[in-house]
Structure 1
Amino acid sequence: MPVSAPHATLSLAAIVAESARKYPHDVAVVDGDTRLTYRDLWDRARRVAAALHEQGVRPGDRVALMIGNVAEFPVVYFGILAAGAVVVPVHLLLTATEVAYVLRDSEAKLIVCHGPTTEVAILAADEAGVAVAAGGALSEGGTATVGYESRSPEDAAVVFYTSGTTGAPKGAVLTHLNMVLNATVSALDANDVRKSDIVLGCLPLFHAFGQTATMNAAFRMGATIVLLPRFSGDTAIEMMVRKGVDVFHGVPTMYIALLDAARAADCALPSLRTCISGGASLPVNVLDEFAATFATTVYEGYGLSETAPVACANQAAFGTRPGTVGRPVWGVDVEIADPERELTVELLPDGEVGEIVIRGHNIFAGYLNRPDATAEAVVDGWFRTGDLGTKDAEGFVTVVDRKKDVIIRGGFNVYPREVEDVLSTHPAVSQVAVIGLPDATRGEEVCAVVVPADPTAGIDPTTLIEWSRSRLAKHKYPRQVHVVDVLPTGPSHKVLKRELRETFSRS
């Protein structure tokens, strides 16, 4: 009689399920006056799983999640996973039309919302023909599932929506193996997460950084997360002091805001054991001043949605090196490849500038329903990041520039093509190029350089900015508009954005 092949199972839901078993009475989440123990969190998540099953959600179905940094996010997130479904986190700054695109593209069974996100979620669900549910209603009453649905390590767990400088946003499929290992490596190897940690949850939980490095890594070790729905420097400092927060994760704009708040007020500062920075390059002067002001160490890292996301980090085991994103994390290879050879990966010697390529347990399963895009991104087993960088003889990686023109505004990616497509529909616009310009607060600011359709009539920059606000997410619409007679182009008639950046960076 033939013996069936062994089949391993793995679920990201185990991160909370196991901590609930080991630390049932310890606090997992603090949200204002609400305190959820690990037992509370897992119980409510299992109630969500049961409610989703009653609504027809089955293992493998995709469920969109549009909730801010409140307790309902982890409750619903792990409820979706416990049901065996796939989480599709939705960016909170998207318009209803943009959310509807995500719902249609992901073929989401329904979208779960809460509080301030409800209005946009309902409009998007109506436009996409998708059911909508309130997160709080799902987790209240009813019976809870016994445990969580068994899944294969290669099954999808989360789909993060991202895109390059061309084309529509794509869904990057992250497996249970990707997400569990990245959270575990972040907790045990890269960031030295401890059960006693009290972590400020101010990074958006719909984003890969906040989701894996903050939430999942903390839950993996049984630590506590103090959620902060809306970040400001003053509020964050007050919250950290009052709640005893000793771990901070943030993007560079957050570090700048904390420094500004610390300078402006004569107030107590939190005692921070460790700080993690990612999302964009942290200026060395900011890193140094923050470390001195808050008497702490800042560990800068690097990753992308497609890498679950952590790929490199300055780690205590190897020492920190300001200006770099550290060394590859456990089980992950990060190298530098010839950026001109797109059909194959040819690695370059130490010290040479090239494209950062990554392979390991953190590499995504591909772009949802986009095999061609996946084949372009993963070559010879390596994920091509599109970022340029160097690697020294000791393994420290430095991000030099982006191969493509993605703008990182306040830690959020802005893709010029999306903005250009919208602005080009304005009747007064003939041509448009969108670039990122250096900004002391946001890292980069979105700038549109436009050629008017009627040179005699011109274009009023303020009017165009206001027009774009209702058609683009808050982090995407341009804050600067420059009007020119012609856009500079090269021999192939491609717009030379490098020249535009040089020109308007000086203006």
Structure 2
Amino acid sequence: MIEHKSVFSAFCAAAEKWPERPFLNVLPETAKVYGIASGETSYAEVLAQTRDAQERYCAVGLQAGDRVLMLLENRPAFFLHWLALNALGVVIVPINPDLQSSELEYIGRHAEPVLAISTPERKGDMEQAARDSGQEFACVTLADTLPVLRASDTASYSAVQDDPAAMLYTSGTTGSPKGCVLANRYFLEAGHWYANAGGTCTLKEDAERMITPLPIFHMNAMAYSAMAMVAVGGCLTVLDRFHPRSWWQNVRDSRATCLHYLGVMPSILMSLPEAPEDKRHSVRFGFGAGIDAKLHIPFEERFGIPLVEAWAMTETGAGSVIAANQEPRKRGMNCLGKPGPEMDVCIMGDDGVPIAGTEPGELLVRRKGDDPRVGFYSHYFKDDVATNEAWADGWFHTGDIVRRDEDGDFFFVDRKKNVIRRSGENIAAVDVESVLMQHPDIEAVAVCPVPDAIRGDEVFASIVWRGEQSKDAAEAIVRWGLERMAYYKVPGYIAFCSSLKLTGTQKIQRAAQKQMALELLEKSEAYDTIHLKRRQLVS
């Protein structure tokens, strides 16, 4: 049973129990990137700063249920302002800083926020999104004076676990991104799960220290990293991003006892020259997903760190987690481990009949007990139809294809949904297609994933083009796309074709289109535009 009512109340309890312990640690490299001070901030100091911010937000009329966009990159201030807003019952909407105009306009319109908090470099973009969306919400930086939104409500907010704490936008398989509403309990359950998982990824209450380069605006860093440290009184070091060549020095400087990773990270680190200090660190384990199977054992032997592979989704939170945290971990086999005792699982065949043997099928999950949705997302914002479809027949349908061996261990096979998984980012093919179709010279487009040795997947676009088909044209399309969507969504390969593979009802034949993409790559008949895919730096 989770005792706390909110993220803020859980942090208050941690600050009371461990006031002098550090909660946040900023390394010099990260401090330089953001122009902030390096060093540690204790639980007591963070709580004091949080209460000051809470008073300022309350004074300008922010109230429970309001939604606030937060584009703060991986700055430690994110946590402080999240706590302050959570204390008032305000719902935060973290914004991926790589999003561009059309994506910001959509979220601004769909989320209906009352305020946006941004970095100075992106304030203009957020103001434009406020105008384009028709919402006209106020936009400020952390240094700005807050605008008065309404008369301050002197009544204190009484937190409830089921009250929404955040809304994260996830790439769906159809239509626009969905707003995934996450309650206080979602975050509390995540911290509780991690603190009690045990096995290889055991967390202790004697000053644990975690380092992560993963984005704060995703559930991994928000729910698992941050809430796990709050649960055990640990210290969190968040990097601005993953820097391969300075990674191990960052790990040593942070005195990390555990770390979080995505599959792309081990691949890059293994490509670097071996060094005498490869094992010179204090890390007991790494926790993540997606490591290249053939690198799993070599990585652990080279760096002396067990990597615990796990499965979860933004929607499932800690309501259903599968983790290979118990030995034997079956390394190098894409093994996810066994489901925890708190969850029900079903592997469903295409015929709608559960699979009892070792054949692959779609993973369906739910929580055991009276409420199958405990720890899961609450719902998709303003989309009851999609919420009900995801929970058809009382099971959450993950869209992931898995298999189970004779020992009861689960193994990831593929994605059923038309989602591209590039360097940890989920990309909906239809999301990319909808933006590209706005180009005046694109008559039709089909997007699909193709394998990438480093990133997992890369975005491949087959385009029916009205103009001259050339490398220059392909690169022009990419540059056009970079102005309108996050860089990682833009095609890394473009092939011009006379027509697409369509069904009798004029829908894209996804499987046939993907096979065609693979054949075009093999024949070198697609233009490689990966070199153009870079984060858009703001001067």
C-alpha deviation, 1:175, in angstroms: 1.5
SS of the aligned residue for 1:359 comes to: strand
Mapped to 1, the partners of 2:498 and 2:394 lie a distance apart of: 45
Instruction: Tell me if 1:414 matches 2:421.
Output: no
Instruction: Tell me if 1:199 matches 2:232.
Output: no
C-alpha deviation, 1:321, in angstroms: 2.6
**Which residue is equivalent to 1:219?**
230
Mapped to 2, the partners of 1:429 and 1:475 lie a distance apart of: 20
Q: 1:219 corresponds to which letter in structure 2?
A: V
C-alpha deviation, 1:9, in angstroms: 7.1
Mapped to 2, the partners of 1:456 and 1:412 lie a distance apart of: 30
Instruction: Tell me if 1:39 matches 2:44.
Output: yes
Q: Which segment is superposed worse, 425-434 or 493-502?
A: 493-502
**Would you say how many aligned residue pairs link Structure 1 and Structure 2?**
488
Mapped to 2, the partners of 1:102 and 1:16 lie a distance apart of: 29
Q: 1:192 corresponds to which letter in structure 2?
A: T
Pick from 146, 149, 161: which aligns with 1:153?
A: 161
Mapped to 1, the partners of 2:351 and 2:468 lie a distance apart of: 39
SS of the aligned residue for 1:249 comes to: strand
C-alpha deviation, 1:348, in angstroms: 2.4
C-alpha deviation, 1:89, in angstroms: 1.3
C-alpha deviation, 1:194, in angstroms: 2.3
Mapped to 1, the partners of 2:300 and 2:77 lie a distance apart of: 33
Instruction: Tell me if 1:21 matches 2:16.
Output: yes
Pick from 88, 97, 105: which aligns with 1:92?
A: 97
Q: 2:428 corresponds to which letter in structure 1?
A: Y
**Which residue is equivalent to 2:180?**
172
Mapped to 2, the partners of 1:354 and 1:136 lie a distance apart of: 51
**Which residue is equivalent to 1:129?**
136
Cα distance change of structure 1 residues 482 and 314 upon mapping to structure 2, 3 Å threshold: same
C-alpha deviation, 1:399, in angstroms: 1.9
Instruction: Tell me if 1:495 matches 2:508.
Output: yes
**Which residue is equivalent to 2:239?**
228
Check conservation: 1:91, 1:206, Cα contact below 8 A.
yes
Q: Which segment is superposed worse, 412-421 or 59-68?
A: 59-68
**Which residue is equivalent to 1:375?**
388
Mapped to 2, the partners of 1:324 and 1:136 lie a distance apart of: 47
Q: 1:8-54: CA deviations, max 9, x gaps?
A: 97112223111101100000101131321001111212222221111
Check conservation: 2:4, 2:10, Cα contact below 8 A.
no
SS of the aligned residue for 1:209 comes to: helix
C-alpha deviation, 1:115, in angstroms: 4.7
Q: Which segment is superposed worse, 428-437 or 330-339?
A: 330-339
Pick from 233, 237, 246: which aligns with 2:257?
A: 246
C-alpha deviation, 1:454, in angstroms: 5.5
Cα distance change of structure 1 residues 43 and 497 upon mapping to structure 2, 3 Å threshold: same
Check conservation: 1:233, 1:260, Cα contact below 8 A.
no
C-alpha deviation, 1:138, in angstroms: 7.9
Check conservation: 1:312, 1:327, Cα contact below 8 A.
no
Q: 1:208-257: CA deviations, max 9, x gaps?
A: 11211211112221111112112211122121122222211011112222
Mapped to 1, the partners of 2:454 and 2:326 lie a distance apart of: 32
C-alpha deviation, 1:131, in angstroms: 1.3
> Normalising to structure 1: TM-score of the pair?
0.89
Mapped to 1, the partners of 2:114 and 2:319 lie a distance apart of: 29
| Root-mean-square deviation (Å) | 2.6
Instruction: Tell me if 1:391 matches 2:422.
Output: no
C-alpha deviation, 1:328, in angstroms: 2.1
Q: 1:239 corresponds to which letter in structure 2?
A: N
Mapped to 2, the partners of 1:113 and 1:171 lie a distance apart of: 19
**Which residue is equivalent to 2:343?**
332
Instruction: Tell me if 1:104 matches 2:87.
Output: no
Cα distance change of structure 1 residues 149 and 155 upon mapping to structure 2, 3 Å threshold: same
C-alpha deviation, 1:116, in angstroms: 4.4
**Which residue is equivalent to 2:417?**
404
Q: 1:213 corresponds to which letter in structure 2?
A: Y
Structure 1, gaps ≥5 residues long:
1-7, 140-144
**Which residue is equivalent to 2:456?**
443
Percent sequence identity over matched residues? 25
Structure 2, gaps ≥5 residues long:
28-37, 147-152, 368-373, 524-539
